[in-house]
Amino acid sequence: MYFDPNEYLLNPYISFLNWAVVVGCLTFVVLFISMVNLVATRGANGIGIFFDELGEMTADLFHLSPRRIWALTRLTYTEAIRRKALSVFVVFGLLFMFAGWFMGDSKEIKPDQVKVYISFVLTTISWLTLPVVLILCCFGIPEDIRLRSIHTVVTKPARRVEIVLGRMIGIWLIGCLVLAVMAVVGHFWIVRQIPAESQPLLTCRVPVYGTNIEFLDREGNFARSGVNVGDIWAFRSYIEGATKARAIWTFRNVDESSLDSDGNLNFENSFSAFRSYKGDMTRPLFYDIKLFNPAKNLAYTTDPQPVNEFRHKLDKIPRKVTVDNVQYDILKDFVNEKRELNVEVSCIDREQYIGMARSDLFIRMPDRPFWMGYWKAVLGIALTLLLITMIGVSASTMVKGPIAAVLTFVIYFLSLKDNHQFMDQLVFGQVQGGGFLESIYRLVMHMGPSQELPANPAFTVVKFFDWTLNNFLWLCRHVIPYSQYFNMPEFVSNGFDVPWETSILPSLLVTAAFIIPCVVMGYFALRIRELESK
Amino acid sequence: MSQSENVIEIRNLSKVYRDFWGRPKVRALNALSLDIKKGEVFGLLGPNGSGKTTTLKLLLGLLFPTEGEVKILGKSAADVSKNERIGYLPEESYLYRFLNAYETLDFYGRLFNMTAAQRKERSEKLLDLVKLAPQSRRRQLKEYSKGMTRRIGVAQALINDPDLVMLDEPTSGLDPLGNRDMKDLILDLKAQGKTVLMCSHLLADVQDVCDRIAILYGGELKVMGRVDELLKAQDETQIRSSKLSDAALKEVQEVLKRHDANVINIDQPTASLEDLFLKTVQESRERPGHRNVIDRQSVT
Ligand SMILES: Nc1ncnc2c1ncn2[C@@H]1O[C@H](COP(=O)(O)OP(=O)(O)OP(=O)(O)O)[C@@H](O)[C@H]1O
Ligand SMILES: [Mg+2]
């Protein structure tokens, strides 16, 4: 599901609108499929039945009874417990009993080790809860239909929407229960593994990233990026030392709350160094940070600071700084009226390079306690479970259990970061030579991509087909949830708090986006089909 | 006015089962029309596979008709709100096997939006009514015998104190005592003014409890009418008395002869619904398409 956090930061209205469009499209597609299905199974009456059902469904929504939903929730819940879904704890217990052996228990702990502990716990928890939920949600309703126990439910005043919702909530509750127990155990485990003197490593940094980064080249002109030093991770750009090359960040919303308890503005960076000649390898490269306000023609530059390669480096800038013997207040004099602060970084060493990307410099707000981030990450897993539950339950109303499970898994798989990016390429990559049919035609006719197609109705059809297909792909790409939003454990294991705008909010919205289409799908699937096992 | 008294109206109802590809497989029901009135006990009879269960499922909206239509309690079969006043016992008790008797009734009670107190009271009452042994009420249904499952199934069907009860072979799996209880239960429901539609193969019981019956064969209605009317042979008189001596018997025969009556036989009476049933099935087999409807009530 599509919700672009960057877009949101720039313009919340547009991004909500886009989100709503995708939700609408998805609902529409679900309705359309239901209608086609009805026409296929009941002939011409199908259309009439479809609109009747649409009315019924709307009426159902107003007759929803919490007590009935709760009854079905409890049923699902009891079923899962009595069918021994909780035996997953055995696996969990075993894993944690033996994990200690492999993780070691040294006196002194490095930040990387903390990261391993945290991500071990959170990954284990998600990989244990996901399959449980997947199985429960994909096999529940099909079993109910196969054993026909659903007959005794649908001949009671239980609405189909309630059946679907009851299932979803029940399974999600089980998932959350399992998750909560594991998370509590995991939390204690992490804290216990880390000796007292290393406990400060368990923290949640709260970064405020710059909204954008700009580069000046060695002559001091604006450039799209810095220098590429052949680093395969091309996301960092490099600036050359002792030239006019600079990297410039703009930070928004800088105010009192950005300062730490001592009144310092903390900048944290993870710059990387690139040496064009060896020089003195033991001597680090140096950079400085300049705060500037063009409107007041004011600039403050820090002392040269060593690059802390492969590690984070913290620079504290006091609120009151002295420039040319005059004292200035950073918040009053450097932060402009739009509450923006401009920051420039330069490399000091001649013919050496320092590499940076937008996220390599941030204002570090006061830290939050570890448990806060940890439980936000757990929330991220809970949301993933909810998403899987919704997709799985609604898939299982249409097809048999194993197929529903495969389908749900495929959707989950596609949602993973790399696969999602591949879809992006599919949808946005094709530019020249038209869409699917058109390019086939061009291939067969040995036609170049830039040649004009003859104007006749056949090609209009071809183009229309391609347009539809492309839009369908577009929808698929936007509909498949982007699991990266849900990947809150990654923040926590890297020692960060889970950010609201780029992770929690999108996850919530993506999850919410599925509620309507999934319920509509569940309703129609259970209504338009005879609930006999076939 | 008589129209509104009909609890169930079936018009020209047909059902063709299709396979996955939509190709017709079986014509399970063919142009069935019948009405069931408020307060009557109606028996749906027929050999295996004659379409009884199919009819019930069509009435409940579990299946969709191929042709024709159905009105039940004045609503369409697809209307969920009709279920408020209906109780249904499926052919096999499709209940949740991991629940115990109390939980089962509690669950179904919740589906009717009953309060906790109502559910508790009603469950106790029903479990007593269907005579489920108290010590088995806390055991999961998967441990139940067939008859016990049947009993809890009946209790489940009555949880909402329905106006219309549909029972698909209520006595299957019950012991003779259970059979007896079931019969009493149905008569009791009738006494309370409820409408009962039941399928059964136990003809003696049907004869005892049903006001009207219909016999289906191969999805078609063959016989329908009031039980007493159907079983009353129109042009025969049966005389029943205590055992007569040979002399007395001779005298009686003489009297009959004097009145031009032709003595067919003088015999002990038989379980005659069984006769009717067998005759109907036999006839249907020999003369497809034949139909015999004696339905005084719907004529007047
Ligand atoms: N789900 C189904 N798919 C295909 N055919 C079916 C299905 N259910 C029933 N039938 C067929 O429909 C016909 C009528 O079946 P139905 O269950 O209504 O009979 P019945 O009168 O209830 O029989 P019984 O006395 O054995 O319960 C049978 O020929 C049966 O094979
Ligand atoms: Mg049957």
Q: Is residue A90's pLDDT more than 70?
A: yes
Q: Which residue's structure tokens are 């604006």?
A: A222
* Distance in Å, CA B49 to ligand 2 centroid: 7
> How many Å lie between the alpha carbon of A43 and the closest alpha carbon of chain B?
11
Kindly report the average pLDDT of chain B as a whole number. Answer: 84
Q: How confident is the model at residue B290 (pLDDT cuts 50, 70, 90)?
A: low
Q: Which residue has the higher pLDDT, A440 or B77?
A: B77
Residue B271: which pLDDT band, with cuts at 50, 70 and 90?
A: very low
Q: Which residues of B touch A45 (CB under 8 A)?
A: none
Q: Nearest-CA distance from A467 to chain B in Å?
A: 31
Option in B94, B103, B160 nearest A147 (CB): B94
Q: Whose CA is nearest to atom 26 of ligand 1?
A: B48
Beta strands in A439-508 (DSSP E): none
Give per-residue pLDDT as tens, B61-75. Answer: 999 898 898 999 988
- Cβ(B68) – ligand 1 distance below 6 Å: no
Please report, rounded to a whole number, the percentage of residues in chain A having pLDDT higher than 90: 15
Q: Is the predicted pLDDT of residue A94 greater than 90, yes or no?
A: no
**Helix, strand, coil: what percent of chain A each, to 5?**
60, 15, 25
Contact A156 B108 (CB under 8 A): yes
Q: Which of A91-100, A443-452, B158-167 has the highest mean pLDDT?
A: B158-167
Q: A156 and B96: CB-CB below 8 Å?
A: no
> Considering only CA atoms, which residue is closest to atom 12 of ligand 1?
B28
Separation CA A349–CA A357 (nearest Å): 19
Q: Mark residue A326 as left, alpha or beta (left: phi above 0; alpha: psi -120 to 50; beta: remaining).
A: beta
Mean pLDDT confidence for B285-297: 63
* Cα–Cα distance, A510 to A387 (Å, whole number): 8
Q: Which CATH class is domain B1-73+163-232+273-300?
A: alpha beta
Closest-CA residue of B relative to A149 is B94
Query: Measuring from atom 20 of ligand 1, which residue has the nearest CA?
Result: B49
B296 pLDDT tier (thresholds 50, 70, 90): very low
Instruction: Say if residue B104's pLDDT is above 90.
Output: yes
Count Cβ atoms within 10 A of the Cβ of residue A63 and give its class: 0-12 exposed, 13-18 middle, 19 or more buried.
middle
More confident residue, B73 or A12: B73
Query: Which pLDDT value is given to residue B270?
Result: 47
A487 confidence band (pLDDT: 50, 70, 90): confident
Question: Does B57 have pLDDT greater than 90?
Answer: yes
- Smallest CA–CA separation between A394 and chain B, in Å? 20
Task: Kindly state the average pLDDT of the residues A503-514.
Answer: 85
* Residue predicted with more confidence, B21 or B215: B215
* B181 vs A280, more confident: B181
Substitution target from B111, B115, B152 for chain A, most A beta carbons within 10 A:
B111
Q: What is the pLDDT of residue A62?
A: 86
Please, which pLDDT band fits residue A107 given cuts at 50, 70 and 90?
Answer: low
- Of B15, B29, B48, B220, the one to substitute when testing ligand 1's pocket (max ligand atoms within 8 A of C-beta) is B48
Distance B28 CA to ligand 1 centre (A): 6
pLDDT (average), residues A206-233: 78
Contacts of residue A46, Cβ cutoff 8 Å, sequence gap at least 6:
A35, A38, A39, A40
Q: Kindly give the interhelix angle for B146-157 and B116-129, rounded to the nearest 10 degrees.
A: 130
pLDDT of residue B116: 93
Q: Is the confidence at residue A175, as pLDDT, over 90?
A: yes
Q: Is the pLDDT of residue A445 over 90?
A: no
Between CA B86 and CA A156 the distance in angstroms is 8
Q: Who wins on pLDDT, B184 or A529?
A: B184
Record the tokens describing residue A26, joined without a space: 């998805």
Residue-wise pLDDT for A323-347, tens only, equals 888 888 888 888 888 888 889 898 8
- Model confidence pLDDT, tens digit, residues A397-408: 988 889 999 988
- The answer to whether residue B87 scores a pLDDT higher than 70 is yes
CA distance A515 to chain B (A): 23
- Centre of ligand 1 to C-alpha B91, Å, is 11
Residue A218 has pLDDT above 50, yes or no: yes
Calculate the alpha carbon distances from A246 to A1, A228, A477 in Å: 38, 14, 37
pLDDT at A303: 86
Of all residues in chain A, the percent with pLDDT exceeding 70 is 90
The minimum CA-CA distance between B83 and chain A, rounded to whole Å, is 5
Name the most confidently modeled range: A85-89, A221-225, A459-463, B133-137.
Answer: B133-137
Q: Ligand 1: which of B53, B213, B215, B284 to mutate, most ligand atoms within 8 Å of CB?
A: B53
- Which ligand 1 atom is at minimum distance from the Cα of B91? 27
Joined together, the tokens standing for residue B17 give 């089962």
- A167, A141 Cβ separation under 8 angstroms: yes
The answer, yes or no, to whether any atom of ligand 1 lies below 6 A from the CB of B62, is no
A152 and B94 in contact by Cβ < 8 A? yes
Q: In this predicted structure, what is the pLDDT of residue B2?
A: 45
Binned at pLDDT 50, 70 and 90, residue A165 comes out as very high
DSSP string, A148-212: THHHHHHTTT--HHHHHHHHHHHHHHHHHHHHHHHHHHHHHHHHHHS-GGGGGGSEEEEEEE-SE
The average pLDDT across B13-18 equals: 90
Question: Among A147-151, A204-208, A361-365, B237-241, which is the least confidently predicted range?
Answer: B237-241
CB-CB neighbours of A161 under 10 Å: 21
Q: Quick check: CB of B25 below 6 Å from ligand 1?
A: yes
pLDDT of residue B291: 67
Report the pLDDT value the prediction gives residue B299, as an integer from 0 to 100: 37
The verdict on the CB of residue B51 being under 6 Å from ligand 1 is yes
Distance B162 CA to ligand 2 centre (A): 22
| Mean pLDDT of the A486-512 span | 83
For chain A, the first-to-last Cα distance in angstroms comes to: 33
Instruction: Tell me if B49 CB under 6 Å of ligand 1.
Output: yes
Instruction: Give the model's confidence band at A184: pLDDT under 50 very low, under 70 low, under 90 confident, else very high.
Output: very high
| pLDDT confidence tier of residue B55, bands split at 50, 70 and 90 | very high
Mean pLDDT of B231-245: 69
pLDDT of residue B156: 93
Spell out which residues of chain B touch residue A74, defining contact as CB-CB under 8 Å. Answer: 107
Long-range contacts of the stretch A416-421 (C-beta < 8 A, 24+):
A416/A483, A417/A482, A417/A483, A417/A484, A417/A487, A420/A477, A420/A480, A420/A482, A420/A483, A420/A484
With residue A428 as reference, give the H or E element that holds it: helix A417-429
pLDDT of residue B3: 47
**Predicted-complex ipTM score:** 0.83
Amino acid at A185: V
Query: Rounded to the nearest whole angstrom, what is the distance from the C-alpha of residue B21 to the centroid of ligand 2?
Result: 25
Task: Please state at what angle helix A111-146 crosses helix A370-396, rounded to 10 degrees.
Answer: 20
More confident of the two residues A318 and A104: A318
pLDDT at A106 over 70: no
Q: What is the pLDDT of residue B297?
A: 47
Which residues of chain A have a CB within 8 Å of the CB of B111?
68, 71, 153, 156-158
Ligand 1 neighbour B52 (Cβ under 6 A): yes
Contact list, B78 vs chain A (CB under 8 Å): 52, 56
The domains of chain B are located at 1-73+163-232+273-300, 97-161, 238-269
Q: Give pLDDT, residue B1.
A: 40
CB A176 within 8 A of CB A80: no
CB contact under 8 A, B113 and A147: no
A156–B contact, CB cutoff 8 A: yes
Residue with tokens 């991991």: B98
Of residues A95 and B59, the one with the higher pLDDT is: B59
Hey, which of A437-451, A511-525, B154-168 has the most confident mean pLDDT? B154-168
Which of A6-15, A19-28, B262-271 ranks highest by mean pLDDT? A19-28
Instruction: Please name the amino acid found at residue B154.
Output: V
How confident is the model at residue A427, as a pLDDT? Answer: 63
- Give the position of tokens 């011409």: A44
What confidence tier does B293 reach under pLDDT thresholds 50, 70, 90? low
